[in-house]
Amino acid sequence: MNDLGVMDIVVVLGSIVLVGSRWLPSGARRRVALAAAAVVAVGAALSLPGMRWYLLPVLAADLLVGVGAGVAWLLRRRAGRGEWRARWWLALPGSVLCLALIAVGVGAAWALPVPEFPQPSGPSAVGTTVQQWTDAGRDGRVVVAQLWYPAQPIPSGTQRAQYLGRTRQEADIVAAAEAGYLGAPAFLLDGAVRSRSHAAFDAAPAAGRFPVVLFSPGLGGVRTQNTAWAEDLASRGYVVAGVDHPYDSAAVVLADGSTVRTRVAASGNAAEDDRRRAGWVDVRAADLSFVLTRLGELTGPLAGRLDTGRVAATGHSVGGAAAMRAAGRDPRFTAVINLDGGPDPDQGPLRQPVLALTHPIESKADTEYLALLSGILERGAATSYRLTVRDSAHLSFTDAPLYLPPVPALVGSLGRTESVRMSAATCAAFLDATLRGLSVDVPAALARYGDLRVNPPATGLK
C-alpha cells in the first residue's frame, strides 16, 4: 500500500473490518459494523478533495455491504422477526466479492502510484524552463522545448515543477492525450499528473557554461517523458532540452493555451507505415537542428550558459532514430545517444561517437533492428558502444517504471528507480568522455549493466 495516503489507509482498513463484521458473534456484530462504517465515512470525506480512482472499488465493497444490510433489514420486517441472518454459504460469496474489490483497490494503488522521482545524483540543483519557437523556414512550424539546467541552490519551500506540463491543467491534457494514444483510459495516468519532480521552474542558473543534450521522445511521446533522466544529467552539469514534436507528440500545449494533437496513425500497410515513419524521423531531425540553432541565440538568464560547441543528439525509440539522422546531417552535433531506437534502413554511418542502449533481443523484428544498428555502428568513424541492458524492456529507458505497473514485459525488472539510475549513469559516463573530454573508463561504466560491444573507429565511412 505504498501509494495510499493516511486517510486512504483508514478507508481500506475500515472497509475490511466492515466486511468482516458479518462473521462476528451477534453481540458484537452491529457495534463493530456501525463503528467501521463511521470510520469509512469520515476517511472518505477527508479523502474526497484529492481522492484517487483506486478507492472507488473499495467504496463499492462498502456499498455492497450496505445493500446486504438493507436487504436483511427488509426481510426482518417482512418476517416480523427481530433478527434475520443469511446462511453462511449464501453470505460467503458476497464477503469474498467485497474483499476482492478491496484488494483491487489496494493493488491498483501499488501498481499505478504517484511517481516519486529519485534524487538527482549530481552536485547542482536543477532549474527548468519552457521555450517556444517558430521556424519561419518550415512554413511557420512551432516547436516547444523544455530545458533542465544546473541551478543555484534553491530555497527550501520552493514549489517544484509539475510533471508533464507547466501547470496541472497542461499535465491533465497531456496525460489524457498520452493515455488515448496508447488506447488506455485517462484515469490510469492520474498518478503521474499528481507528481512533482525535483526541478524548480525558472530557478537562477548556476555559473559557468554547460554542454548541451537535445532529446527527442518516442513516437507519440512528449518532452517530459524522460524527466528523471534529464534532471540527473542537469545536476551533473549538462543542459538538457526535451523537444515536443507537434503533430507527432500526443499533445503539445502552446503558449497561447491551444493544443496541437498527434496525427500519428498506422495505415495497416507495412510499406506505407515505413514511409510515414521515415517522414516523422526527418521532421524530428530537422526539429533538433532548429532547436540547437535557437539555443545558441538564447537571451535572458540562460544567455551565455550553453556551450553549443559541445552538443549531443539523443532520443528514445523513434527519437533515437531521429537523433542519428540529425547527427548525420548536422556536424554541429558532437555525440549521439540512441535509447532503444531502431534506425532507418538508409541511415549511414556516423562521424560522431555513439552510445546505443537496447533491451534484450528476442523477436525476429528485434534481431533485424539489432543487425541494422550494429552495421551502422561498426562503420562509424568514431568509437561507438552498444549495450544490451539486462532485465530491461523498451520503456525501461523512460520515466514509465516510476508510475506504470512493474510488469517485466512492459517496463523490465530493474526496479522503479533503478531503471532511471541505469539510464542516467550510462549516459553520463559517455557524455563525460565525449562532450567534456574527461578521463572516464566508459566500457567499465557500461559493462556493469549488461552485455557491451565496443566498436573502434572504422578506417573510413562506407
Q: Where exactly are the structural domains of the chain?
A: 6-111, 125-455
456: which 3 cell numbers? 573502434
Q: Mean pLDDT, 10 residues at a time, over the chain (462 residues)?
A: 77 93 84 92 88 92 86 66 61 90 94 95 98 95 98 96 97 96 90 96 97 97 98 98 97 97 90 91 98 97 97 98 98 98 94 97 83 96 98 97 95 96 98 97 98 89 48
Q: Are 315 and 219 a contacting pair, CB within 8 Å?
A: no
> What are the CA-CA distances from residue 294 to residues 31, 134, 241, 246 (Å)?
70, 10, 11, 17
Q: DSSP label at 309?
A: E
Residue identified by cell 539522422 is 325
182: which 3 cell numbers? 496508447
Q: Are 454 and 356 a contacting pair, CB within 8 Å?
A: no
Burial (CB count <10 Å: 0-12, 13-18, 19+), residue 186: middle
Cβ contacts of residue 79 below 8 Å, gap of 6+? none
- The whole-number pLDDT of residue 462 equals 46
* pLDDT tens-place string over residues 430-459: 999 999 999 999 999 999 999 999 999 987
Per CATH, domain 125-455 is 3.20.20.140: no
Q: What is the pTM of this model?
A: 0.93
235: which 3 cell numbers? 545536476
Distance separating alpha carbons of residues 166 and 171, to the nearest angstrom: 7
Percentage of the chain with pLDDT > 70? 95
Burial (CB count <10 Å: 0-12, 13-18, 19+), residue 183: exposed
- The whole-number pLDDT of residue 1 equals 47
Distance separating alpha carbons of residues 401 and 199, to the nearest angstrom: 19
Q: DSSP label at 214?
A: E
**Nearest residue to 3 (alpha-carbon basis) of 165, 194, 198:** 194
